[in-house]
Amino acid sequence: MCSEKIMKISSNLIVLVSVFLLLISWVNSTPTASLQSFKQCLSFNSRISYPSSSFYTPQNSSSFFSILNSTAQNLRYLEPSKPKPQFIFTPLNEPQVQAAVICSKMLGFHLRVRSGGHDYEGLSYVSEIETPFIIVDLARLRSVDVDIQQNNAWVQAGATVGEVYYRIAEKSQVHGFPAGLCTSLGIGGHITGGAYGSMMRKYGLGVDNVLDARMVNANGRILDRAAMGEDLFWAIRGGGGASFGVILAWKIKLVPVPATVTVFTVTKSLEQGATKILYKWQQVANKLDENLFIRVIIQTSTGQNGTRTVTNSYNALFLGNAESLLKVMKKSFPELGLTRKDCIETSWINSVLFIAGYPSNITAEFLLQGKPFSPKSYFKAKSDFVKEPIPETALEGIWKRFLQEDNPFSIWNPYGGMMSRISESATPFPHRKGVLFKIQYGTFWVDGEKSDGKHIDWIRKLYKYMTPYVSQSPREAYVNYRDLDLGINKKRYTSYSQAKIWGEKYFKDNFNRLVKVKTKFDPENFFRHEQSIPPLRFYH
């Protein structure tokens, strides 16, 4: 008995000494030394050795930048002037993610977690307020386990939306999931912010169809819904990514889709009466048959006579056949002039490709590559929610501003249907009843960092111009379109009044409940970024 106690005490001393030595090495570390400390800690906590292929450092520049750039979509945050992580870790399984959290906390590493990299302000792979930092990239955790009999699926955080859709369609042509329109989104972070898509008017958002989750909390424990409790489960379904833990996997509820759906894209230029048609769309889009989703993609183009114009493309999914769609359109939105030749009857999985804008020769297997079809660019985007139709004269002011910019875009997504029947407080995502549509606007450019100021100034002016025509008190915004213009304080932590500026825009009255959940489950603010939910102790 005494020898067992001595052995236990000795073992504890070894652990304490090991931890002390690791901390000392971090305090005095070079990037190489900090990685070595991290590896030692991982091996100690998980009792396994880690392959060198799971770690990437700037010293191994070619593989490091390949991984860093792999899923990042905004070239603004890949410029040499932006801070780079000391290293990137790509875990292979859940226990490795768990060990990474434990060791990051033990060693004092500032952690950024990436599941997809689409975040508009690069918060999952750049830290501009706190360095040094490391990245845990979940790209290798991408299994999708579909159970058609139970109408659900477990999907790991690193799987893309397109992979999830493909694996569902692989098992059934009459099942789907109401998540994103962009197929290269990482499902882990996508759902944390809401996850809207072309079936939102029928079935709600991705977060409205989540049954369970697995996550690593700030103490390094792996929790499911039962273990985390309903408050934390509520917070992670719409409260924004990287505030409460590392999402490992979601259990999602599958929804029924017809064997045949119908899609179309009809484009109208200013010369074809685009302004009046869009004004009409605003009045009917949220009231249409909930099986019909018609978004508007607004861009500029050059006509045959060489002059620039603005075009509005009506991009739609109807959960039914073309004949039924035409009846709905004739009754509710005849101004668009939809004809049978505009309609394409197809399967739900192929409608995903169509809505995402893939060429007609691309097959569903492309979704398994987990990559976007279009090239990366420099961009800045913002969002708004609209509750009253924007007058035609104000639309004309938008067109005037669009024609002053090189590559502007705006996407207007209709609400109504199921979105109006779910309570604002059911999840942290509050933009529900009363919203006619959401606006995303942005601009992209290809001539590098030197042009950032010009284009960002343009979109800020457009955003200011839109102030009278969008939601008020607060002026709402979509958390998955992160916007660091919204009250960001460049310090490590923000005061309550400062955080509330962007917090209420994203979450309205749900912000205060999110703060309470954060204070309870991560009081030391281990999971943090420029717009993460801070605990109360950091409000001063």
Pick left, alpha or beta for residue 60 (phi over 0 → left; psi -120 to 50 → alpha; otherwise beta): beta
Of the CA atoms within 13 Å of residue 313, those in its CB half-sphere come to: 15
Strand order in the sheet with 246-253: 144-147, 152-156, 246-253, 210-216, 222-223
Out of 125, 165, 481, 506, which one is annotated catalytic? 481
Whether 481 sits among the annotated catalytic residues: the reply is: yes
Q: If you ran DSSP here, which 8-state letter would residue 71 be given?
A: S
List, in order, residues 6 or more apart from 317 with CB less than 8 Å away. 198, 199, 261, 262, 263, 292, 293, 351, 355
Q: Contact 318/263 with Cβ under 8 angstroms? A: yes
Residue 484 corresponds to which tokens in the numbers above?
């660091």
Backbone φ and ψ for 212, nearest 5 degrees, come out as -160, 170
- CA–CA separation, 179 and 149 (whole Å): 21
Nearest alpha-carbon partner for 515 in 246, 219, 245, 243: 243
Q: Name the residue with tokens 């492309």.
A: 366
Nearest alpha-carbon partner for 529 in 109, 127, 114: 127
List, in order, residues 6 or more apart from 423 with CB less than 8 Å away. 432
Q: Name the residue with tokens 């005849």.
A: 334
| Residues designated as active site | 481
